[in-house]
Structure 1
């Protein structure tokens, strides 16, 4: 098994191009706190606020629970695979899509995380400008740039840097969110008043579930980037459930309640705190909330870049991604949140579905180590399975029936073994060569 280093530079302690060894594995607290920091995200509250205008509150609660269960189940399975293999999502995609096919996963996952980084940096810079009362375009853009640079720091220092930030910020964020939610409920006459609120807009059930899954379709697909550090698959699974069922679901719920009680806030607790006159606490909530998510995004595009260029060091790609994401933020990418979520809910989950189907039905949960595999350029059967899943999810989204992300995951997962059987029958299967002994690395 490779050690993650090379003559090209110092060993990266986050093992971006190899399996995480047993000596670096972590417990439930460590993995959970990082994933919770990832899912405690202000734009998720905005998504909850958007949903709150389209459904009666009792029905909205059911939708949030169902959508969060779907997301947590999907991420939980991928997280288990990550812990068992010790691999990032993009490295797992080598087994499924092939050496060059995995480059699509790098672009899709890394690229969308760069976009998320831009959304988050834009939101932070704009809201801090409001808090400071300095809402000129120049000042706002300068704050956006500052936010973009600062939030990349913990990702640059890797897993340990993100764990430290999340351990400090997550408990504080949770206390503040619960307090604001209780204040918001009181504003509308308690839970009875909240349940009596009627929707002002309309949205299909399929679109609502897609928005919920889309909040972390890309991020959740990359959860193995962190759950690969879990000591056991059980730790990985429960960390995913804690973060994506309870953490992400809570953010949607908090946003829905906040927008109902304070319509001008759009469900954003930062704006609510501003309305209460708690400007300092609003800024603290904003900075911690967004930073704990964006350092994960930066980490994700860092490891995707390392895989794409086959360089065992994520740091140069963290820096490059932060620069690109910050430029996108300055350009105003944060104005396209809901269409962005819907697109992610269609494009990303089928990739995770293909990896799941390949791991369970083709490899039968027995992936050989990276240093024993000579990867084919492209596994076309798995690529076609991903495309079928994407097309099915797009059809479901356009028709407004079923749940598009779930459709994409299931179709892609089932299509992998089905298309492999077809390719085997035609003599066109593109299997990787598995060696008995480790294959010497290619010269640098």
Structure 2
């Protein structure tokens, strides 16, 4: 089944790919499922997530943040767990499965869309990395300049990404305990300094409603949930890795957001670096933030390079990493971090329908016992279902509700239902069409 997801002939430029970007992961290259969960959990405790938690706390307050974390975590956990299971069963990347669902040309367009989102996140992380280094280096020229550290951070993340999944695995194992310690430290110091008044709903003026908060949370990691197969394809057990990814995004990610919201609420600072300065946490905290930025940027570049490898098949993955890093750097310097909320709400609307199509395609192929080669350029039903899912999200965003009232969930359900209906209709027509004599 795994080998059937790829084309019969390996694309040019992929022969030296040690991370199996366009081929199935062999059994000899698999790893225990818990390691996949650690990688995703380590990616969760990233600088963007900590910044998101502060933003969420300041704008929504603690009570709304708790409710939004429960719903957002449930949506992401179920989505990530299912995608991870499919990745371990197929042993191929998300983007090869997307090619099967949407067709060669249609899939390339979808993969480009996903790559833009991952590269955008890279830009966010690079700038946070640079801001941290500026704080640590103070005014020493040229190392006190934001652009110097943005370029240096991009290069460091690109080198880590080129090594591949095993480098991310090693880095996550080293940095994860430090990041957990940092978060616990920040929450403890904030409560010791300011007390527990944040629990009172009237403590924070609410500037973000519950539905927007859920969309904000889902948008923050929906791409990570969708591309879980990029990591889970290395897992030995589909069920175990599904559970591990559910726990990482369904439990770990909401807890990180909730924890990082507390210092933000108490200090009134959305900026993580300002919050740590206010709490007097010093250079050690900045050092951990630096490591967190490193892992987050490398993870996003890793996914972006895999996405682009299905489109630009004559380019080596190394070149695609440098290309993604360069574009991410440019986006970061252009100021994407100032537009983080609308960016995440947009992602929560347009990304879930992609999973709503490639997941049922996989299970339909499994049920029929088909060898799912990428044989066509376009699958019209998949494109229509994707557009309907995005339309459902737009209606929900403008009108305040569609099916469930949650934009990400509406778009996912509508795209899945539309695709299954259109696919059933296509098969019905194919069975009852009389061949011309």
User: With structure 2 as the length reference, what TM-score do the two structures score?
Assistant: 0.90
Residue aligning to 2:167:
161
Distance 2:431 2:129 in 1: 50
The answer (yes or no) to whether the contact 1:89–1:221 under 8 Å persists in 2 is yes
Residue aligning to 2:200:
196
1:193-216 residue CA offsets vs partner (Å, 9 max, x unmatched): 221252313323221110000001
The answer (yes or no) to whether the contact 2:43–2:296 under 8 Å persists in 1 is yes
Residue aligning to 2:323:
320
Structure 1 residues 189 and 243, CA, compared in 2 at 3 Å: closer, same or farther? same
Instruction: Kindly indicate whether residue 139 of structure 2 is the aligned counterpart of residue 134 of structure 1.
Output: yes
Structure 1 window deviating more from structure 2 (39-48 vs 287-296): it is: 39-48
1:163-210 residue CA offsets vs partner (Å, 9 max, x unmatched): 1111100111111211221222223323xx221252313323221110
Structure 1 residues 25 and 183, CA, compared in 2 at 3 Å: closer, same or farther? same
Residue aligning to 2:393:
393
Residue aligning to 1:363:
365
- Aligned mate of 2:237, from 220, 232, 238: 232
- Aligned mate of 2:228, from 219, 223, 227: 223
SS in 1 for 2:104: coil
Structure 1 residues 121 and 172, CA, compared in 2 at 3 Å: closer, same or farther? same
The answer (yes or no) to whether the contact 1:15–1:312 under 8 Å persists in 2 is no
Instruction: Kindly indicate whether residue 80 of structure 2 is the aligned counterpart of residue 75 of structure 1.
Output: yes
Structure 1 residues 19 and 425, CA, compared in 2 at 3 Å: closer, same or farther? same
Structure 1 window deviating more from structure 2 (248-257 vs 87-96): it is: 248-257
Per-residue deviation at 1:43?
Answer: 1.9
Structure 1 residues 135 and 257, CA, compared in 2 at 3 Å: closer, same or farther? farther
Residue aligning to 1:442:
none
- Aligned mate of 1:28, from 10, 30, 33: 33
Distance 2:417 2:410 in 1: 11
Distance 1:379 1:323 in 2: 33
The answer (yes or no) to whether the contact 2:13–2:313 under 8 Å persists in 1 is no
- Aligned mate of 1:409, from 395, 409, 412: 412
- For structure 1, the 5+ residue unaligned runs are 430-444
Distance 2:320 2:367 in 1: 31
SS in 2 for 1:12: coil
Structure 1 residues 384 and 367, CA, compared in 2 at 3 Å: closer, same or farther? farther
Per-residue deviation at 1:49?
Answer: 2.3
Instruction: Kindly indicate whether residue 86 of structure 2 is the aligned counterpart of residue 65 of structure 1.
Output: no
Structure 1 residues 365 and 45, CA, compared in 2 at 3 Å: closer, same or farther? farther
Per-residue deviation at 1:299?
Answer: 0.6
Residue aligning to 2:350:
347
1:49-80 residue CA offsets vs partner (Å, 9 max, x unmatched): 23223445234212212211111111111111
- What is the root-mean-square deviation of aligned Cα atoms in Å? 2.5
- Aligned mate of 1:144, from 133, 150, 170: 150
Structure 1 window deviating more from structure 2 (148-157 vs 180-189): it is: 180-189
Instruction: Kindly indicate whether residue 274 of structure 2 is the aligned counterpart of residue 271 of structure 1.
Output: yes
Instruction: Kindly indicate whether residue 188 of structure 2 is the aligned counterpart of residue 186 of structure 1.
Output: no
Distance 1:315 1:189 in 2: 50
The answer (yes or no) to whether the contact 1:12–1:314 under 8 Å persists in 2 is yes
The answer (yes or no) to whether the contact 1:149–1:326 under 8 Å persists in 2 is no
Structure 1 window deviating more from structure 2 (255-264 vs 404-413): it is: 255-264
- Aligned mate of 2:125, from 102, 114, 120: 120
Residue aligning to 1:419:
422
Per-residue deviation at 1:407?
Answer: 0.5
The answer (yes or no) to whether the contact 1:155–1:295 under 8 Å persists in 2 is yes
SS in 2 for 1:229: coil
Per-residue deviation at 1:331?
Answer: 1.9
Instruction: Kindly indicate whether residue 342 of structure 2 is the aligned counterpart of residue 336 of structure 1.
Output: no
Give matches, 1:7-26, under 5 Å. Answer: 8=13, 10-26=15-31
User: With structure 1 as the length reference, what TM-score do the two structures score?
Assistant: 0.88
Residue aligning to 2:380:
380
Structure 1 window deviating more from structure 2 (42-51 vs 139-148): it is: 42-51
Structure 1 residues 324 and 312, CA, compared in 2 at 3 Å: closer, same or farther? closer
- For structure 2, the 5+ residue unaligned runs are 433-437
Residue aligning to 1:438:
none
SS in 1 for 2:207: coil
Structure 1 residues 195 and 63, CA, compared in 2 at 3 Å: closer, same or farther? same
Distance 1:244 1:359 in 2: 22
Distance 2:422 2:171 in 1: 44
